A and B are shown apart, each in its own frame.
Chain A
Amino acid sequence: MMGNLLTIIVFLPLLAALIIGFVPRDSKGQARAIALIATFLPLVFAGILYAGFDFDAKGMQYTESAEWINIANVYHDKALVIGYDLGVDGLSMPFVLLTSIVSFLAVLASGKIQHRAKEYYIWFLLLVTGLYGCFVALDLFLFFLFLELTLIPMYFLIGIWGGERKGPVATKFLVYRGIASAFILVAFIAMAFKAADATGTITLNMLAIADAFSQASPDLITSAFKNGIFLVLLLAILIEEAFFPFHTWLPDTHEQVPSAVSMIVGGVLMKIGAYVLFRIAVGILPDAVQHWATLIAVIGVINIVYAALIAMVQKDWRRLLAFSAISHMGIVLLGVAAMNQAGIQGGVFMTISSGLLSALLFFLIGAIKERTGTALIANLGGLSKPMPILAGFLLAAALGSLGLPGMSGFISEILAFMGSFEVFPVLSAVGALGIILAAVYLLWAMQRTTYGPTPAQLEGVTDARPIEFVPAIVLLALIILIGVYPQILSDLVNPSIQTLVTRIGG
């Protein structure tokens, strides 16, 4: 069983979704129980993965490999063998852990869902399978399948359980991310064929393609090709990761979906774009990243500043948080553009940190909205009196998000900017403005939400229920843990990042 741990983690939620399909329609409790088990067990298994992880090894661990599809004559007279290849390294391990934690907590937070609950858990679990799959797939075809698998459940999760504008927003999500997938696939296949030109055999295995790209002579795989393909990939990443100017699907989505879905979207789903950036763009096309570094850094800075400015004028907490996440992910671009150890490390840290913070913030805002009936900042106020605990958690999360030292956001920003100041001093200085702006909009929103007089209609609202302590405490604990003891993450990712960095300029 240990040999197939990754397969089990990936497909347990899918299996559970199938089982829920046979549960009677009206027994919501059973569906929920199955969903809880099916997200808790992978969490345990992910813990086992982490416990048995070899921190010094640079390569993939827990690998599984089997031949799956064999397509003849694809490359001259050679067959393309698509493999069922799974594995994790220091780069994917944090994402697997993030998925396991957030997905379990999101199911825990889904208790309020009453409308078509059985279907809700089916789609939710399918989404979780897609997310796990994306982070452990070592074959580009397999990765793409899992990426597409996240699309369909999300469409229904928005479209059935969303707010009043759910229909158009679901379609928008689908078309945006659908087009991003199309570009990703074009880039993947083009890379595979180019690698085949260099090695003589065609494969979609990420590691094999990365090796081919780093070892081939520049005549076979020209830098013009790499630079072009990177642009295609970048376009996809910008859409997937909701970067300006392709960001509009994200605030809309967050505004419409239930808070549990928001947790997984902000916490995990939108991090796939960053994962593609680290694993595929930096991992396979490092010279192209370097070639376009200024462009990437500029896009990053635009996102940091622009999204922060937009966040300042948001009326709805969920939109504010969405723009805040966009702004923070801009720092990832800036860090990666630096293409040094600190910058990339900062990028990975920021991604994980933003995932945890988004999950926590969306959970808390969801809990507040459930009680007050609104997420509009103007309608809230003085919440620290009726709900001191939720308001306290919200303050802590907001402080974490604006980069208070001792929390994960701070160490992420420090690392990313340390890397980027070395390479782009001016751009980084402008980007650092984002930190100040974040303090402004978050504290301002906090002040209007939790302090001041309590409006009459909010007088009697209840505070957090015991079950709600679990997500809040777990997420906050992780955020602080990374903040005060960053080695817990850096020991994991550093060997993999070193491997990436040594390829640069090669």
Chain B
Amino acid sequence: MNPVQSFSTLSFTGVWEVMAPEVILVLLGFGMLVFDLFVSKETSRRISPWIGVAGLLLALVLVLKNFGVVADGGMKELSNMLYVLDDYGNIFKVIFILGTTFTLLMSIDFFRHNPQVKVAEYSYLLIFATVGAMVMSSAYDLITLFVGLELLSIASYILVAIRRDAKGGEGAMKYLITGSIATAFALYGMSFLYGVTGVTNIAQGSQMIAQMWVEFKPLIVLAFLLMTIGFGAKIALAPFHMWAPDTYEGAPNPITSFLSVVSKAAGFALVFRLFIWGFGPEFNELYIYLVILAAITMVIGNVAALVQKNIKRLLAYSSVAQAGYLLIPLAVLGNGSSQENIWLALGEVTFYLAAYLLMTMGAFAILTNVTRAAGTESLDAFRGLYKRSPFQALAMTVFVLSMAGMPITAGFFGKFYIFLGAINTQMYWLAALLFVTSAIAFYYYFGVLKAIYMKDSEAPVTEQKLALPWSLGLIAWVGMIGTVVLGVYPTLLLDVLNGLNWFGL
């Protein structure tokens, strides 16, 4: 294979065919930037989020249309596999767009209570971050991957600090520094890979790695490990997760949920594509590091969450633990990487991410309302919630049970699915660890329920009924119904996933 690439020229129709949703969102972002200059501050505050939502929905339609494009013509690509269009990218993009839409809906409530925030700036930064995530799921080249990663990261750094208060500043600073170091690690790893293979394209790189494996094994392993550290920090795998609790705590609630759902999903999209395709057959010598990382992450995330009293920090550690569960399908692939195993693993990850999207966004919607009313982010804010708002108590119960992995919720089936995959590759101990750490997690998840239903000896913060703004209520309803429906009848989503041509295959 000749490492020297020949480039085809780009045409707008070519780009549009492959990147229509991204193009729309980029145009939208810049449009909002300009729009903000010409309208009054008030108008901008009122309209910007809705323009964002409208643009996202348009992009969603375009992504959904792309499923058909791929079904007809296999994988589409741009400029010699620099950027590809396949169902793998499409399904992740659906998750990103839905996640960002929920985030924006949640933000409408946030804007009302934080008049100092520049709404237009916030909205288009969020849109750009989403584009970054979308690029990460479709890029087939180290450079493009990196661009997507940085677009997402830099926009996120700003969004964390958007309230301009001390806590947000601290969170953003920690995120910025660890994020930059992580980026440096990832980039350093990529440079080794380039040094060995002489290409940045993943497909070509994979063939080169196969040829160079014997001779340059230490260098390739080093590249793999450095990238694992870099990307691992981005998706908050232990022990590179230390930024997450502070950043999650400091960021505004909608941004925390964005980081927790969209940012993490994007990280997984990138890691999966890069590691499965880039390291291909050699992955069975490398996977053990990921297995260890998954095990450490599940244990540390769940154990550290046990002592948290602040609900956002608790959810931060919970999200670390969930990253551990999500890593399992990829990690165990090395122990039996037939094509069916890859399809199974992809099904597991996307199902769990869908469940995770529904339950996390829902939980943050309720959390936002409850903690604001109580004026504290302590678990005590939930005290006596069942009296103050039975609906919010019920919805939070469903979300918490789903995160804990209790049956008839999407979270349970997602975990069960991952567990099946782990057993299929004979990783019994890892599978057992998944469920044992989940059982330990009951302790802190049920702590939330305990606050909601049981602390009647201590008076609830207030007896007053707690209203739920409609935008948050919408998220809670969608999240709750989705969580239960996917829990009782997961076939709905499984059928969709089974019908996908993941990599145009």
Q: Which residue numbers of A lie inside 8 Å of B, CB to CB?
A: 68-77, 80, 141, 144-145, 148-149, 151-152, 155-156, 159-160, 166-167, 170-171, 174-175, 178-179, 181-183, 185-186, 189-190, 193, 232
Pair count A-B, CB < 8 A: 101
Interface residues of B in 427-460 (CB under 8 A from A): 428, 431-432, 435-436, 438-440, 442-443, 446, 449-450, 453-454
A189 touches B419 (CB 8 A): yes
Interface residues of B in 304-354 (CB under 8 A from A): 338, 340-341, 343-344, 347
With A and B bound together, what is the CA distance between A175 and B423 in angstroms? 24
Asked if B117 CB lies within 8 Å of chain A CBs, one says no
Q: Which of B80-88, B211-219, B400-408, B465-473 faces chain A?
A: B400-408
Query: Chain A nearest CB: distance from B130 CB in Å?
Result: 30
* Sample (23) of A-B pairs whose CB atoms are under 8 Å apart: A69-B494, A70-B491, A70-B494, A71-B420, A72-B343, A72-B347, A73-B344, A148-B406, A148-B407, A152-B401, A152-B406, A155-B446, A156-B453, A159-B450, A170-B446, A171-B443, A174-B442, A175-B442, A179-B439, A182-B436, A186-B428, A189-B431, A190-B428
Which residues of chain A have C-beta atoms less than 8 A from B453's C-beta? 156, 159-160
B454 touches A159 (CB 8 A): yes
B341 touches A71 (CB 8 A): no
A75 touches B419 (CB 8 A): no
Which residues of chain A have C-beta atoms less than 8 A from B50's C-beta? none
Which residues of chain B have C-beta atoms less than 8 A from A185's C-beta? 416, 419, 435
A182-B432, A182-B436, A186-B435 given; A73·B340 CB < 8 A = yes
Asked if B417 CB lies within 8 Å of chain A CBs, one says yes
Asked if B462 CB lies within 8 Å of chain A CBs, one says no
Number of interface residues of B (CB under 8 A): 39
With A and B bound together, what is the CA distance between A70 and B338 in angstroms? 20
Which residues of chain A have C-beta atoms less than 8 A from B421's C-beta? 74
Query: Chain B nearest CB: distance from A326 CB in Å?
Result: 22
Interface residues of B in 367-419 (CB under 8 A from A): 401, 406-408, 412-413, 416-417, 419
With A and B bound together, what is the CA distance between A123 and B406 in angstroms? 16
With A and B bound together, what is the CA distance between A328 and B439 in angstroms? 29
Asked if B498 CB lies within 8 Å of chain A CBs, one says yes
Which residues of chain A have C-beta atoms less than 8 A from B491's C-beta? 68-70
Which residues of chain B have C-beta atoms less than 8 A from A141's C-beta? 416
Query: Chain B nearest CB: distance from A166 CB in Å?
Result: 8
Query: Chain A nearest CB: distance from B486 CB in Å?
Result: 11
Which of B340, B423, B442, B489 contacts A189, CB < 8 Å?
B423
Asked if B144 CB lies within 8 Å of chain A CBs, one says no
A167 touches B454 (CB 8 A): yes
Query: Chain A nearest CB: distance from B438 CB in Å?
Result: 7
Interface majority SS (helix, strand, loop, mixed), chain A = helix
With A and B bound together, what is the CA distance between A108 and B432 in angstroms? 41
Please name the residue on chain B nearest to A158 by beta carbon. B454
Produce 1/0 per residue, B263-293, CB < 8 A to A: 0000000000000000000000000000000
Query: Chain B nearest CB: distance from A222 CB in Å?
Result: 14
B442 touches A74 (CB 8 A): no
A186 touches B406 (CB 8 A): no
A149 touches B431 (CB 8 A): no
Please name the residue on chain A nearest to B487 by beta carbon. A145
B420 touches A189 (CB 8 A): yes
With A and B bound together, what is the CA distance between A74 and B401 in angstroms? 25
Query: Chain B nearest CB: distance from A118 CB in Å?
Result: 11
Which of B340, B438, B454 contacts A77, CB < 8 Å?
B340
Asked if B501 CB lies within 8 Å of chain A CBs, one says no
B406 touches A75 (CB 8 A): no
A145 touches B407 (CB 8 A): yes
Which residues of chain A have C-beta atoms less than 8 A from B180's C-beta? none
B417 touches A71 (CB 8 A): yes
Which residues of chain B have C-beta atoms less than 8 A from A69's C-beta? 413, 489-491, 494
With A and B bound together, what is the CA distance between A86 and B156 in angstroms? 51
Which residues of chain B have C-beta atoms less than 8 A from A193's C-beta? 423-424
B494 touches A179 (CB 8 A): no
Which residues of chain B have C-beta atoms less than 8 A from A178's C-beta? 438-439, 442
Query: Chain A nearest CB: distance from B454 CB in Å?
Result: 5
Please name the residue on chain B nearest to A115 by beta carbon. B456
Closest 10 CB pairs of A and B: A182-B435, A178-B439, A73-B344, A145-B407, A73-B340, A179-B439, A148-B407, A77-B340, A182-B439, A178-B442
With A and B bound together, what is the CA distance between A170 and B432 in angstroms? 24
A80 touches B420 (CB 8 A): yes
Query: Chain B nearest CB: distance from A506 CB in Å?
Result: 25
Query: Chain B nearest CB: distance from A202 CB in Å?
Result: 9
With A and B bound together, what is the CA distance between A75 and B426 in angstroms? 11
Please name the residue on chain A nearest to B439 by beta carbon. A178
